[in-house]
Amino acid sequence: MRKKRLKKSVSPVYLSLVLVFLYLPVLVVVVFSFNDNPARNPTVFTGFTLEWYRDLFKNTRGYWDALAVSLELAFWSCALSVIIGTIGAVGMARRMTEGRANFAARAAEMMTTLPILIPEIILGLAFMSMFYFAGIPMGMTALVLSHTTFCVPYVFIIVKGRMAGLDPALSEAARDLGANERRVFTDIILPLIRPAIISGAVLAVAMSLDDFIISVFLSGAYTVTLPLKIYSSVRTGVSPQINALCSVMLAIAFLIVGISKLAGRKRNADKA
Amino acid sequence: MKKRDARKDYILMAPMALWAIVFVGLSMVYIIAVSFLKSNNAMGFTYQVTGENYAKLLNPTYLRILLSSLSQALCATVCCLAVGYPFGYLMARTKKKTRSVLMILLMAPFWTNALIRIYGWRILLMADGPINLVLTKLGWIQEPLKMLYQEGTVIFGLVYALIPFMILPSYTAAEKLDRSLIDASRDLGARPWQSFITIILPLTTSGILAGCLLVFIPAIGLFFINDLLGGGKLINVGNLIKDVQKTRDLPLMAALGVVLLAVVGLLLYVYQKLGGKSSDLNVF
């Protein structure tokens, strides 16, 4: 009896232990953002303060400029990759339903999704050297081109997955009732794949904001993205302003995840 | 039903295909080509075909870094498997509600920068950091433990950063597993470890294979974990390639990149031979 109860508690204990492992450093970053220790490398918590947040909002160290660069970059990469990836996925899915995904279509799909499997460090090196050769200056353009390249596969895969789950009878019915291709797309397909497009877009933004390795190769002198800025500040020591900044970013991230989950739940409830 | 014009589908696919050809295909062809050209040590090359870049990689310094990066990535993969697979499996067996909460908790760190989380570990592991403080207060240690700047810590950081990529495919595979098969094996007298080896393991192999690939590939190049937790003393292939802006020997680094590409290609080949599907690699 006792043994059985012990066995039953193994699973929740293990799951929680791993979650503690996942969240411990996040928690530390947040706690130390309120640390009132003025030492150069404060690792001991001495008291509560909001000083670092005040410091952060004064923008003495250019964190907001870096955030602006990152947001601009994320916006363009997201917009481009959503357009390219969605249109591509729709075309691909239609080829598939006709059952004749030929060599060219499959090759295009493989090439598009390849960046998922190539280590980022190699992508970064390859983009840098090729852009250098092509005369594209390092900076926003180079960053947008590269980020779009690694975001397209995710948008493509998500939208294509949704397209594969659509009932082809819906489009056929619309066509039989006289709708032309454009109306079938705007009135039938687009509303049905909208959730997938939104998840693809959110993922693209997250990937772009998070990217550090590829951006290292492509940022110019005036286009320092937020991860690059964070990296140069924490590389050697502890910086309480960075802790404050990270806590703000964490709060925003959790808010976005929470809202999208709630929206998802509402969507499911509507369907039921 | 009207027959649709197939050409239209190709027109829709064209921008994506073109983008992939230019930015994925061409850039890969480009570094492969550069790796066979003679370096001018100023981020450029002269048009002279040579194999000397690859010969230089056989230099013990480079060879050691390459091998240690691969062994680091391998260690990280094995640890991720040991910790992440049970998590994925147990998670698949929880109630539906718990599962969706766990999923959110698992995905949420994804939306924050990996740098930040590794930086959190850096604070925790410092000589006068919270972990040493707690251990000293408890009287378990006299001297603070030197946890930063060790190879084991770098591997720990890799495991930490990449473990979701092991958990998610393991979970997906375990969720598809038909519970009644396990029950049947138990009814027929199999011990728990027997049903694990004969039923659970073979039926979740797809998740294990995908997880290993998804951890190993990025682990080769994650240089910032070496910087933040290894203090720059320990260098991996990623650090080497990143520093091309300082060393300015582009063809040599291209050759190193091509070697890594070959390693990845080999792994993908093995993955496919072992029956892995490419669709299992899409965890999002």
> Which CATH number characterizes residue B250's domain?
1.10.3720.10
B1 within some domain: no
Cross-strand pairs, B38: B46
Cβ contact A108–B16 (<8 Å): yes
B82, B158, B201 from B78: Cα distances, Å: 6, 11, 16
Task: Spell out which residues of chain A touch residue B216, defining contact as CB-CB under 8 Å.
Answer: none
Residue B49 lies in a domain: no
Check if the beta carbon of residue A52 is closer than 8 Å to that of residue A38. Answer: no
Residue B17 C-alpha from the chain's centroid: 26
Show the domain range for B277: 60-281
Q: Which residues of chain A lie closer than 8 angstroms to B238, CB-CB?
A: 119, 121, 213
Burial class of residue A51 in the structure, from the number of CB atoms within 10 Å of its CB (0-12 exposed, 13-18 middle, 19+ buried): middle
Which of B21, B119, B159, B277 to probe the A interface (max A CBs under 10 A)? B119
Of B93, B123, B160, the CB nearest to A238: B123
B137 in a structural domain? yes
Cα(B250)–Cα(B42) distance, integer angstroms = 8
Q: Is residue B116 part of a domain?
A: yes
Nearest residue, CB atoms, B83 vs list A18, A230, A257: A18
Neighboring chain B residues of A189 at a CB cutoff of 8 Å: none
Per-position pLDDT tens, chain B of length 284: 445 567 888 888 899 999 999 999 999 999 999 999 998 888 888 888 999 999 999 999 999 999 999 999 999 999 999 999 999 999 999 998 999 889 888 887 777 788 888 999 988 988 888 888 888 888 888 888 888 888 889 999 999 999 999 999 999 999 998 888 988 998 998 888 888 898 899 999 999 999 999 999 999 989 999 988 987 777 889 999 998 888 889 999 999 999 999 999 999 999 999 988 888 887 76
Q: Which of B13, B83, B165, B227 to probe the A interface (max A CBs under 10 A)?
A: B13
**CB contact, 8 Å: B95 with chain A?**
no
Q: Of A119, A118, A145, which Cα lies nearest the Cα of A130?
A: A145
Q: Tokens 């006068």 map to which residue?
A: B128
Report if residue B14 sits inside a domain: no
Measured between beta carbons, which residues in chain B are less than 8 angstroms from residue A149?
19, 23-24
B6 chain-A contacts, CB cut-off 8 A? 95, 98
| B8 part of a folded domain | no
* Percent with pLDDT over 70 in chain A: 90
Residue from the list A15, A45, A126 with its beta carbon closest to the beta carbon of B90: A15
Chain A residues touching residue B83 (CB < 8 angstroms): 18
The answer to whether B91 touches B167, Cβ cutoff 8 Å, is yes
- pTM to 2 decimal places: 0.90
Q: Which residues contact B122 (CB under 8 A, 6 or more apart)?
A: A234, A238, B148, B228, B229
Tell me whether residue B31 is in a domain.
no
Domain-embedded: residue B33: no
- The domain tally of chain B equals 1
Nearest to B128 among A44, A104, A216 (CB): A44
Helix H or strand E segment including B235: none
> Which chain A residue shows the shortest CA-CA distance from B253?
A125
Per-10-residue mean pLDDT for chain A, 272 residues long? 69 93 91 81 77 82 87 96 95 75 82 92 94 92 96 94 88 90 89 91 89 92 90 81 85 76 61 45
* HEC assignment per residue over chain A: CHHHHHHHHHHHHHHHHHHHHHHHHHHHHHHHCCECCCCCCCCCCCCECCHHHHHHHHCCCCHHHHHHHHHHHHHHHHHHHHHHHHHHHHHHHHHHHCCCCCHHHHHHHHHHHHHHCCCHHHHHHHHHHHHHHHCCCCCHHHHHHHHHHHHHHHHHHHHHHHHHCCCHHHHHHHHHCCCCHHHHHHHHHHHHHHHHHHHHHHHHHHHHHHCCHHHHHHCCCCCCCHHHHHHHHHCCCCCHHHHHHHHHHHHHHHHHHHHHHHHHHHHHHHHC
Q: Phi and psi of A105, rounded to 5°? A: -65, -40
Q: Check CB contact under 8 Å for B111 and A122.
A: no
Q: Which helix (H) or strand (E) holds B112?
A: none
Q: Which domains occur in chain A, in start order? A: 2-51 (no CATH), 62-237 (1.10.3720.10)
**Three-state secondary structure along B25-62?**
HHHHHHHHHHCCEEECCCCCEEEEECCHHHHHHCCHHH
CA nearest A214 in B: which residue? B242
Instruction: Test B111 with A206 for CB contact under 8 angstroms.
Output: yes
